[in-house]
Amino acid sequence: MLRSPLFIVLVALLLRLAVITVGHTYHITPRRDHFQFGWEMGRLARSIATGQGFSSPTDLETGPSAWAPPLYPYILAGVFKVLGVYTAASAWVILAFNSVFAALTCLTIYRIAERIYNPVVARAAAWTWALFPYAIYWAVRVVWETSLTAFLLSLALLLTLRMADARPRTRGWVWFGLLWGVIMLTNTAVVSMLPFCLLWLLYYSPRRSSQIPGICLCLCTAALVVSPWIVRNYTVFGKFVFIRDNLPLEMHMANNDRSAGLWTRNEHPGNDPEAMQRFQQVGEIAFMDEMRTEVHQFVREHPAELAQFTLERAVYFWIAPPQATIVNGYDLEISRHVNFFLGSAFAFAGLWLTLRRRKHGGALLACFLIFYPLPYYLVNPFPRYKHPIEPEMILLIVYLFWEASHVQLRWPVRKA
């Protein structure tokens, strides 16, 4: 039974539900009218649940919004409608929802490792994800799409590997396109991995030209899934908005004269009353246009600072941004950096070993670690931005340790 991936999924789910229930993580602080209950996504869900539509991602009523992809806010709004806005019951249910997909990620990790490595690594990686406290944290503490995105991206990786092993049929391409459409409506930034998955499938296909129609069908299916939301945005805002519109704001928060390369929390309209009022006054689209203008001006006038900020954020993506970590009066910020660094270093070491052993799928894993983070080097690299690829990182770390367990060290022995 311990070898069954479904048993691992069950243990992972029960463990997360126990942490939510026993640890009372569903008691989210009511400070600032429950803003930490999903932050902007919670505000959007509240607006939907109270009949105001997808609008007002801040404390003030600011009208229609495209601040975030729509899938998770609508799911959260459905919970609010049934169990109440910002209630403890709603928190428990949405955290349990996160936990379901965090647990299912054990299954995708298992199947991926089984195809790339072997069943032993597959079981070890799945159990690691099921029991590792840091992997548990995001599902049981944070009302956000983080755990759902991690599962969907790992599922996309698994389907890519499967489709490469056997010539995909029409139905397979349709399902692949549906999955990527759902991913776009969950976390638009993750779509950066779609071209690499398609190129990898094309490269490993024995008859590449025959895959072109399937790739086109996949892209058309994904476009069909997201098209209602794009039409909604065009109807509401009178211009083309590809799913979400807040990238200029995030760029500006991390790239201005006062940011030093990291997020300026005090100027964000989700936190700063003055910025929030400006956001309400001009509307979301005009506000984002203002942010875009300021970002362009900063890029033109301070190219050296932008390059420096980007390099620093690239480092912080893998070792976590600076943050005071006080435990019993001691600041463990350095320890926090070291822990994140070791995880990243072990993952890249596992990737290097995977490529050296010429494991099938190694190049695709390299794309996840090398190309996925690139957009986040331009904004503040919150640790949750890395979580969608952490299932693959866990997989690489476990493989590294498995290979290390077979290394025999022969120490010289002195004869008496």
What pLDDT is stored for residue 371 in this prediction?
Answer: 97
Measured on CA atoms in the order 28, 32, 34, 35, is the torsion positive or negative? negative
Return d(Cα 4, Cα 111) in angstroms, integer.
Answer: 11
Measured torsion, CA atoms of residues 387, 391, 392, 394, in degrees rounded to the nearest 10: 110
What tens-digit pLDDT sequence spans the chain (416 residues)?
Answer: 667 999 999 999 999 999 999 999 999 999 999 999 999 999 999 999 999 999 999 999 999 999 999 999 999 999 999 999 999 999 999 999 999 999 999 999 999 999 999 999 999 999 999 999 999 999 999 999 999 999 999 999 999 999 988 777 889 999 999 999 999 999 999 999 999 999 999 888 777 777 899 999 999 999 999 999 999 999 999 999 999 999 999 999 889 887 777 766 667 888 888 889 999 999 999 999 999 999 999 999 999 999 999 999 999 999 999 876 776 777 788 888 999 999 999 999 999 999 999 999 999 999 999 999 999 999 989 999 999 999 999 999 999 999 998 887 676 766 65
Nearest alpha carbon to residue 242 among 223, 270, 255, 215: 223
What pLDDT is stored for residue 20 in this prediction?
Answer: 98
What pLDDT is stored for residue 269 in this prediction?
Answer: 85
What pLDDT is stored for residue 29 in this prediction?
Answer: 94
Grouping H, G, I as helix, E, B as strand and the rest as coil, residue 166 is: coil
In 324-406, at which residue ranges do the beta strands (DSSP E only) sit? 326-327, 330-331
Gyration radius of the chain over CA positions: 23
What pLDDT is stored for residue 415 in this prediction?
Answer: 66
What pLDDT is stored for residue 407 in this prediction?
Answer: 80
Contacts of residue 293, Cβ cutoff 8 Å, sequence gap at least 6: none
In degrees, to the nearest 5, what angle opens at C-alpha 179 toward C-alphas 389 and 378? Answer: 40
Which stretch of DSSP H or E encloses residue 293?
helix 284-301
Nearest alpha carbon to residue 246 among 62, 80, 390: 62
What pLDDT is stored for residue 213 in this prediction?
Answer: 92
Return d(Cα 235, Cα 250) in angstroms, integer.
Answer: 24
Return d(Cα 86, Cα 50) in angstroms, integer.
Answer: 12
What pLDDT is stored for residue 256 in this prediction?
Answer: 86
What pLDDT is stored for residue 263 in this prediction?
Answer: 67
